[in-house]
């Protein structure tokens, strides 16, 4: 059997326009050499190719790694929720029934979530649909706790979404229904931590949304405009937390008998808040005030750990993953990344499963991420990941190794173009070291990405002016095969996507792909 290393360069796409293309601007001799001398193609990494509603929807690391790891296309995220809302199935769930019953008895229905239409973590249309249904079904009070995006949408677009929400609430509010914005803050400052990297973000979210503690404002618009004036150049994801005050009191402090819906559908930044609401034995911070509420997520964010206990839409049942297929054939596997993307090469890769298919045949390694803004250290932990890979490759213990370098994506989200260029150059140095050890040990190297980001750091706004772009791109991503000892030709055809990688990896290993997978790219 051959040995294969798959490198996922997170957020490294292929620019179509050259606008803000930090990938091309960077000095990347190794990546350039691989593209010029090795079999390669472009993969679609967004929209329908990864199970999202349309090709206007940008891909993300979660659905990208699902597709890479299972070799198939499943309805995901926004599409999954869209289907449930359009069919009305979401409102027939046991969880919705419990929420409705609780709120009809006098409880307030609270919504927490990312206020944007980025379709990566959430979609504002889902919030609007549930607010309308809540009124229709006799719920009298609702509060919305908004997390500001500026990452999957333009960097300073928050007021666009706040204005749209305020208009929707004005349309719904009457003598039978009263809803308003109650609190908020930037997604990288409050509530939406992931992988237990910074529990203080979640603690601040708890204090803001649940307890109604924090700096008070008369409206979300006032809060946003004030913070922008006080912090010139600040983007939405970094705005501080705020609380809306009505008649001298917090507008949305939670109380016994209320219900709470986290309407984000993506799991990684939803798990920790869900734990704070659900877990009786919770060691991460002192919650202090803890009202007795019914809490539900939009989806089940972790199927193995059953987080949260209640959710509105059933997740896709991902079967026939590459990991499971390889375990059945006795193939030894190794997965490594730093904290920011560790869950992507493990949980998401394995079909949204926290555990392993085999403790004997699968080994996972997490390298702790730095707790700083990533544009301050754009190399992140790529050298440490590479050190680990070199040791693992030389050990000869594993047949299939996969890793994720987060640089292009995590630094790309900061909007700091120079830092992204630096991050790409650091990554390229690591690719050179990896290529050398693959030569030494006879390992086949495959290089790809899960979506674009670093390749499109600028965009044209509605006024025709260039502005910083912090969101993922709609660009294709590379797929390159390097083998010192053989040339593995790729089919000359268009239309390949991330879901074609699993069968291709199996072929490189020397195995016949699972027939349920999308076809191999190998001739």
Which DSSP string corresponds to 126-178?
HHHHHHHHHHHTT--EEEEEEEE-SSSS-TT-HHHHHHHHHHHHHHH-BTTBE
Cα–Cα dist 269/307, whole Å = 12
pLDDT in tens, 358-392: 999 999 999 999 989 999 999 999 999 999 999 99
* More confident position, 401 or 266: 401
pLDDT in tens, 106-147: 999 999 999 999 998 999 999 999 999 999 999 999 999 999
Label residue 354 by pLDDT band (50, 70, 90).
Answer: confident
Percentage of the chain modeled with pLDDT above 90 = 90
Gap between the terminal Cα atoms of the chain? 19
Nearest to 402 by CA among 7, 3, 2, 66: 7
Domain spanning 78-313 has what CATH number?
Answer: 3.40.1450.10
DSSP state of 113: E
- Helices and strands of the chain, counted as H and E runs: 16, 18
pLDDT at residue 54 in the model = 86
Q: Which fold has domain 4-74+319-463+471-509?
A: Alkaline Phosphatase, subunit A (3.40.720)
Residues near 486 by Cβ (< 8 Å), separated by ≥ 6?
A: none
Cα–Cα dist 449/429, whole Å = 17
pLDDT beyond 70 at 103: yes
Average pLDDT, the chain: 96
Residues of the chain with CATH 3.40.720.10: 4-74+319-463+471-509
Q: Classify residue 156 as exposed, middle or buried by CB count within 10 Å of its CB (0-12, 13-18, 19+).
A: buried
Stretch 435-453: mean pLDDT, rounded?
98
Catalytic residues: 61
For the residues of 67-85, what is the DSSP string, one character each?
Answer: HHHHSS----HHHHHHHHH
Q: By three-state DSSP, how is residue 203 classified? A: helix
Of 4-8, 194-198, 214-218, 317-321, give the lowest mean pLDDT range: 194-198
Cα–Cα dist 388/206, whole Å = 37
pLDDT at residue 244 in the model = 98
Label residue 304 by pLDDT band (50, 70, 90).
Answer: low
Nearest to 271 by CA among 241, 255, 295, 290: 295
pLDDT at residue 303 in the model = 66
Stretch 213-231: mean pLDDT, rounded?
98
CA atoms within 13 A on the CB side of 133: 17
Residues of the chain with CATH 3.40.1450.10: 78-313
Buried b (16+ CB within 10 A) or exposed e, 95-111: bbeebbebbeeebbbbb
pLDDT at residue 234 in the model = 97
Cα–Cα dist 507/503, whole Å = 6
Label residue 42 by pLDDT band (50, 70, 90).
Answer: very high
pLDDT at residue 91 in the model = 97
pLDDT at residue 302 in the model = 78
pLDDT at residue 471 in the model = 86
pLDDT in tens, 5-30: 999 999 999 999 999 999 999 999 99
Give the global pTM: 0.77
pLDDT in tens, 146-199: 999 999 999 999 999 999 999 999 999 999 999 999 999 999 999 999 878 899
């Amino acid at each position: 059997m051959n040995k294969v290393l798959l490198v996922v360069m997170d957020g490294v796409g292929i620019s179509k326009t050259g606008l803000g293309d930090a990938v091309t601007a960077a000095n990347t001799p190794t990546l350039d050499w691989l593209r010029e001398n090795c079999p390669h193609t472009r993969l679609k990494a967004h929209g329908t190719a990864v199970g999202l509603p349309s090709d206007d929807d940008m891909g993300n690391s979660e659905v990208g790694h699902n597709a890479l790891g299972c070799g198939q296309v499943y309805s995901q995220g926004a599409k999954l929720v869209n289907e449930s809302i359009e069919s009305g199935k979401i409102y027939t769930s046991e969880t919705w029934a419990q929420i409705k019953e609780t709120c009809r008895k006098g409880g307030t229905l609270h919504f927490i979530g990312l206020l944007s239409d980025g379709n990566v973590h959430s979609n504002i249309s889902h919030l609007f649909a549930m607010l309308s249904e809540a009124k229709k079904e006799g719920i009298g009070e609702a509060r919305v706790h908004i997390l500001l995006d500026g990452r999957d949408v333009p960097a300073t677009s928050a007021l666009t979404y706040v204005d749209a929400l305020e208009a929707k609430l004005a349309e719904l509010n009457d003598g039978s229904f009263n809803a308003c914005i109650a609190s908020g803050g930037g997604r990288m400052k409050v509530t939406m931590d992931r992988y237990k990297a910074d529990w203080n973000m979640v603690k601040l979210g708890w204090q803001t949304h649940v307890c109604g503690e924090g700096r008070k404002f008369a409206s979300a618009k006032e809060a946003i405009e004030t913070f922008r004036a006080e912090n010139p150049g600040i983007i939405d994801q970094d705005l501080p937390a705020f609380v809306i005050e009505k008649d001298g009191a917090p507008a949305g402090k939670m109380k016994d008998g209320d219900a709470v819906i986290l309407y984000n559908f993506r799991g990684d930044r939803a798990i920790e808040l869900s734990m704070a609401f659900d877990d009786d034995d919770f060691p991460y911070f002192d919650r202090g005030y803890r009202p007795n509420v019914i809490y539900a997520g939009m989806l089940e964010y972790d199927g193995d750990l059953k987080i949260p206990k209640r959710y509105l839409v059933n997740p896709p049942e991902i079967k026939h993953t590459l990991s499971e297929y390889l375990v059945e054939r006795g193939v030894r596997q190794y997965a490594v990344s730093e904290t920011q993307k560790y869950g992507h090469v493990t949980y998401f890769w394995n079909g949204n499963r926290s555990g392993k298919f085999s403790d004997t045949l699968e080994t996972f390694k997490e390298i702790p991420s730095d707790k700083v803004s990533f544009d301050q250290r754009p190399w992140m932990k790529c050298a440490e990941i590479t050190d680990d890979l070199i040791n693992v490759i030389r050990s000869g213990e594993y047949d299939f190794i996969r890793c994720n370098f987060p640089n292009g994506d995590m630094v790309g989200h900061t909007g700091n173009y120079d830092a992204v260029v630096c991050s790409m150059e650091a990554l390229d140095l690591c690719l050179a070291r990896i290529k050398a050890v693959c030569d030494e040990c006879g390992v086949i190297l495959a290089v790809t990405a899960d979506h674009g980001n670093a390749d499109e750091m600028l965009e044209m706004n509605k006024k025709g002016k260039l502005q910083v772009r912090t969101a993922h791109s709609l660009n294709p991503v590379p797929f390159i095969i390097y083998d010192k000892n053989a040339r593995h030709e790729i089919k000359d055809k268009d239309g390949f996507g991330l879901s074609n990688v699993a069968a291709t990896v199996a072929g490189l290993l020397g195995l016949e792909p699972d027939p349920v997978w999308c076809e191999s790219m190998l001739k």
